[in-house]
Every structure is written in C-alpha cells, then in structure tokens.
Amino acid sequence: MIALSKTLARLLAPISRAALWTAAVGLVLMTLAVAWQVFGRKVLNDSPTWTEPGALLLMSWFILLGGAVGVREGDHLGFEIGLHYAPAPLRKLMRLTTHVLVCIFAVYMMIYGWQLTAATWGSKMAGINIPQGMDYLPLVGGGFLIALFSFENLVNLIARGDDTRPAGIPAHTTSSVE
C-alpha cells in the first residue's frame, strides 16, 4: 500500500500542479475579461457580449480546479476541532469516512455534470457562440480530479496512518514530490 501511495503521489503531483496553474491562468483571464467589460461599458459605451458568460465559465473552471488541488493538499474546509479532540482510532475513522464521502460526491458531480453537458450541448450560450453544455464541463473535470485526489488521500490514510498529505509533500507546500 505504501508503494501505491508513492506511485499515486508521483503520478498526480504534475496533474495537481497543472490544475493549479490552469486555475491561476483562468483567474487572470477572467480578471482581464471583466476589466474589458468595464472598459467597454464606461469608456467605449459599447459592452462586449462575450465577457460576462466567458468570465463565468472561466470562474467555474478555476474554482473547481483550485478546489480539487485543495482536496489533494488537505486545505479544504473541515471540522478540525472535532478531529483534534477525537481519539486516534475515531480520528482515523472520521478521515476515512470523509474521504469516502468526498469521493462519492465527486463521482456524482462528474456523472450529473456530464448528463447536464450532454443535455444542453445543442443550445448556444447567450452572448457567446459556444455550446451551452460548456457551462457544465467544469463539473465533469473538477469532479474527476476531486474524486482522484480524494482516492489518493484515502490510500495515503490507509497506507501511512493519520497523515493524509500526498507522499513526499510536507504540510503547507505546493504539490511537488520531493
């Protein structure tokens, strides 16, 4: 199980890094789109129609990609005080339960996101000439990564005990394997 943990860390570290960089680029592009919207409205008196749906689509991607990286690194929301005061066996059970539930939720998010994508692909987004289904693709990609990273955390917990950090990643660092 330790070997699986290390293999997952080695394989998923570059994926996590790419997701984080993609989220950062998406945030910058969204900021530029909103700035162009404001400039167009206030200065040119001609608001571009693509900026609002484009910014919302970018925001969906960077939130879900960043959230997935947060799941991998253990930086997501949690009930830490309960874990802190729980005895070790209960703490491990609580973490196992959390990772299983997050993984199940992410799989459902991915499945239903795909169903929404397929159901709305034939329509076009208002203000931008791309399929409406593109609005739901971030649920598919984000759900996949959250499920994958949560599975990695589950393997880490089973293999190494109480530490849910990816193998080789100390607390409060970026997703790189040492």
Whether 174 is covered by a domain: the verdict is no
> What digits encode the pLDDT tens for the residues 23-72?
999 999 999 999 999 999 999 998 888 999 999 999 999 999 999 999 99
Residue 97 domain-assigned? Answer: yes
Q: How confident is the model at residue 6 (pLDDT cuts 50, 70, 90)?
A: confident
Spatial CB neighbours of 59, under 8 Å, sequence gap ≥ 6: 26, 30
pLDDT score, position 25: 97
Q: Which long-range contacts (CB under 8 A, 24 or more apart) does 84-93 make?
A: 88/162, 91/162, 92/157, 92/161, 92/162
* pLDDT-above-90 percentage for the chain: 62
| CA distances to 68, 82, 112 from 172, in Å | 16, 21, 33
- In the chain, the number of structural domains is 1
State the virtual CA torsion across 77, 78, 80, 81 in degrees, nearest 10: 110
Please say if the pLDDT value at position 21 is more than 90. yes
Which of 24-28, 118-122, 128-132 comes out lowest in average pLDDT?
A: 128-132
Residue 177 within a domain: no
Domain containing residue 68: 2-160
Do the domain assignments include residue 89? yes
Residue 172, pLDDT > 80, answer no
Contacts of 98 (CB under 8 A, 6+ apart): 78
Q: Please check the confidence at residue 177 and state whether its pLDDT lies above 50.
A: no
In a domain, 129, yes or no: yes
Q: Say if 170 falls within a structural domain.
A: no
165 part of a folded domain: no
When pLDDT is cut at 50, 70 and 90, the band that residue 91 belongs to is confident
pLDDT category of residue 111 using cuts at 50, 70 and 90 = very high
Whether 171 is covered by a domain: the verdict is no
